[in-house]
Structures are given as C-alpha cells and as structure tokens.
Structure 1
C-alpha cells in the first residue's frame, strides 16, 4: 500500500515513528500543504491509498477535501478537523451529544466585549479559533479583562466559567479505540504549565476512557485528544477537543496509528 502524510513536519515524533513502522512493507510519502502545487498537487505522483492529515491550515484542509471527493480515506476528515478549530461549534456539538463539556459562549472580539463587562466569578477566555499560540487565560476581574483586551484587541473569543479543580489537566488521546493518558499541570494554574506526567489508563476514574471514545464518535474523529479536568469526585469536565494531536511519549501510539492507517486504507470501497 501507499500511505500519504499531509504535513509540513514529517519528522514529528509520532509521524516519524509511525512511518518507520509502515515503511517496512509499504511506501510512505509526505506532502507539505504549503509547498503543494496550487493547481494540480496530485498530478505528478500516484495517489496514496490513505492519507494522514496532520495539519490544520486552509490549504491542508482543501487538499484533504479534494482527496475525499476522489474516494480516498483521510484521517481525520477535513470536516472533523475543521470543526475542532472552532470552539463555539465544538461546544455546541458536544452539548448536543450529551457530553460533559464546559458551558461555552462566544462573545466576539475582546475589544468589543471587555469594556463595561463586570465579572462576578473567574472565567476562562480562549481564542474562538484554536491554533498554535492561541489565547487561553484565566481572568478573575474586570481589570484583568481590560489588560487582556489591550493585548488581544481584535481576537474573537469564547468564555467558559472557571471550574474549581486540582490544577491538573488530564490529557487523554485516542487512536481508534485505543486510549492513552497523561497528567499535565494546567497552564491556568499559578505556576503555569508543567511537564507531562505518565498516567496508566486503568488509573483513570471509572468511565473516563469510554467518555473519550464517545467524543470520537460524536466528532467523527479517528485520532484525537480530549482535555478533561476533574470537577470533583472524579466528575469529568471536557474543556477542549483536538484533532490529530502530537501524542508524544506514549508507548504504543505509533503502533496503534500504523494499524489504524492500514485498516482505513483497506476500508476503501474499491477494496471491499
């Protein structure tokens, strides 16, 4: 089989390890969406049997949609990847699906919302559109909100009520049905984000692994991350969902991704 990677970083640890496994018996090619020919990106090379979409740029999503129209599986689909970039749409879908997602409201640009807004309790302000280096901040009062608006005046944001918690994020990832887990000090904690600590899946509170799989079903994702905080007594609160995260340092993740890739390639209608 031929496997394609849509990414500007084929050397990313997860992709590199997965590619090494697949390359023992299959051809693996990387396509940088920024460098792809704008008119005919697939004209000079045979199409792969499946593509892994490890990029969220508009160009990458356009390439993925083109491949899907040709009947080629893409992991994750362009639609699922795009949905996870819009935190407003993400929250709406999660709540419709009955998932314990943090209540989220979209308030537009900070410069328009912050003036005159009084806060009776802490909130978490996030960029509406998820991307590297986006805004995620706890705001305790109106003065802090004005400072944030001065730094990010035109940033469209969403607001979530701050839920008291242990200060640790549960970083959960899934590749197909296989779940991986870690703990990381929250970037909203007083000391800021800390190192990622290993966590065995069987150490998670009861039902959390199944909750992660339910997120995958609701969002039509194959490779994804779910950020959960413990809102007390093992009660999960989902605060974010990510399409095709890095899953760094998780033993078995490359093997799971390689196996999923081959299953998706074999599921093509013309191979059934």
Structure 2
C-alpha cells in the first residue's frame, strides 16, 4: 500500500487558509499535521529533532515530507529569529519548506523586497529608506506626495499619505520616538485601484483588480475585488518577481500609474480570500497540488 504523504502546515486550526489547504491536501490523499509556530522545540546535537507539540502529543518535524508556512507570527526579536531559523534548519535537514525561510526573510521586509526587485531591473516606485529624520524630510521635499509605510506590516495597516512638510515633520518625529525606520515611497496616482496576481510555480493562476474608496486598495481597508485577466506584460512582471525571489508561490501587487506598471509589494505568505471570491479556480487546490508535485507524489 502506498504511503500517504505527510504534509505539515505551519499555522493554527483557526486560520481559514489553513483549513482550506488542509481540506485540499486531505482530498488528494495526504495526511495533514498542523504545526503551531509558537510550539516548536529543537534538540541538539540529535539529528532531525525539531519537535512540535500538538493535541497533547509531539511530532518530529524532520519526518514530514513537506512543510507549508501559513503563519509566522510576530514577537520579540529573539522569537522571530528563532522561528525563521527553525525553518532554515529543517531545510538543511532536507525537508521541503514552502515558502522557504529565505523567501520569507526577503518578503517580510518591504525594503529588502523592493531592493532585490529594483536591482534586478523591475519597476518599483522611487523610495528612500533611512533612520535619519533629516533624510526622511529631504525625501518628502524631493518626492512630493509620499506614502510612509512600516517596513514590517500587512493589510494596509499603518500606511499614511503625506503631502505637507509640517505633517511630515510631526509624523517623522513620532516615528523617531519609537525608533522606527523611515520607509518613504513616492505616491503614484492610480485611480484608487491596483492588481493582485497569485503566482504558483511559474504561472499566474488567478488575479483580481482591487478598487478602493481612497488610495488604499487593500481588501482589509474596504476595497472591492473584481475578476481580472492580466495583460501579458503585467503577468510577466509577476512571474519575474516570483523567479527573482525564488518563491514557490507569492502574491504580487502591481499598480499602473501614468501608463506604467509598478510592483508595490510581494507577499510570501499571501492570503487569497478576496481573490477566491472572484475566481472559479480553487486556489487551495492549486497550491495543494503544487506541494505534492514538488515532493513527487502526483
């Protein structure tokens, strides 16, 4: 009898994407093990011994066939670094991790993502990233209207648009008190819309147009989703983004301003609830099939 592939999902049972992916994997004949990212314990020098507690028992993670990362919660610097380094260790032990620790490190940091894409020649907005108040103020003078974003963040939380130097002064002084980095990006008018493309492997499997009530187009901020068939040039930008970042799957946000496309963000643990509402493709099924193909079980 053929052995069932054993697929771990890093996340909790409360997560809707975790639930959907678990159902899809089980429907394809896999055994699913939920791994709480806060309950991983490493033992050294014993080989392959990263264990996770679940349902009163424990699981040796090195014995899984693959691990899909669906949650990597925040915490102290030590906690976050440890959780990522557990993924690195599991990869070193030969476990297929989707997405890889390296990819997550690249995409959790907006500066790192934008820098990698810009250096590869892909179009990104003009951006200034600094720890210096005076340099941040100079960026507003040079760029005009800007969007100030947290380097770590999602769902549009914490982003503000600034078009006044006095407001910039107040905002930047407040950020200075919290010892934050200034991530200052030129504002690109786009008619309050942009596009999210969902790339799995080397294909755009689905896409949506997001229309906002204002410049923020995140679904979490009240934007609406519409079905969208991306033009070849837009699709290729998303695919190139995935290749440059070495992503198994990724959500790529692109806006068009002045007739030119710009990559705004790449999400290494992308949600797909909004996208699923406007596509006939079962995105959890697509991802589950990709995972099993990667470990050569289908």
Deviations, residues 113-138 of structure 1 (Å, cap 9, x unaligned): 55677625101111223457753221
Q: Which residue of 2 aligns with 1:168?
A: 193
Q: Is the 8 A contact 1:173 1:223 kept in 2?
A: yes
Q: Which residue of 2 aligns with 1:42?
A: 51
Q: Which residue of 2 aligns with 1:13?
A: 16
Distance 1:181 1:116, change over 3 A: closer
Distance 1:127 1:187, change over 3 A: farther
Q: Is the 8 A contact 2:128 2:139 kept in 1?
A: no
Match of 1:230 among 256, 264, 271: 256
Partner Cα separation in structure 2 for residue 179 and residue 65 of structure 1: 28
Distance 1:96 1:160, change over 3 A: same
Match of 1:139 among 162, 169, 172: 162
CA shift for structure 1 position 38 = 5.0
RMSD over equivalenced CA pairs, Å: 2.6
Alignment of 1:160-199 (within 5 A): 160-176=185-201, 177-186=203-212, 189=215, 193-199=221-227
Partner Cα separation in structure 1 for residue 241 and residue 86 of structure 2: 25
Off by >4 Å, runs of 4+ in structure 1: 111-118, 131-134
Distance 1:30 1:206, change over 3 A: same
Identify which range, 114-123 or 20-29, moves more after superposition.
114-123
Deviations, residues 159-183 of structure 1 (Å, cap 9, x unaligned): 1111222111212222222432122
- Is the counterpart of residue 98 in structure 1 residue 101 in structure 2? no
Question: TM-score with structure 1 length normalisation?
Answer: 0.85
Partner Cα separation in structure 2 for residue 148 and residue 187 of structure 1: 23
Say which structure is richer in helix. 2
Question: TM-score with structure 2 length normalisation?
Answer: 0.78
Flag structure 1 segments of 5+ consecutive residues without an equivalent: 268-272
What number of residue pairs does the alignment pair up? 262
Q: Is the 8 A contact 1:56 1:81 kept in 2?
A: no
Partner Cα separation in structure 1 for residue 83 and residue 212 of structure 2: 30
Alignment of 1:79-98 (within 5 A): 79-98=102-121
- Is the counterpart of residue 214 in structure 1 residue 240 in structure 2? yes
CA shift for structure 1 position 17 = 1.4
Distance 1:188 1:65, change over 3 A: farther
Q: Which residue of 2 aligns with 1:242?
A: 267
Partner Cα separation in structure 2 for residue 130 and residue 26 of structure 1: 33
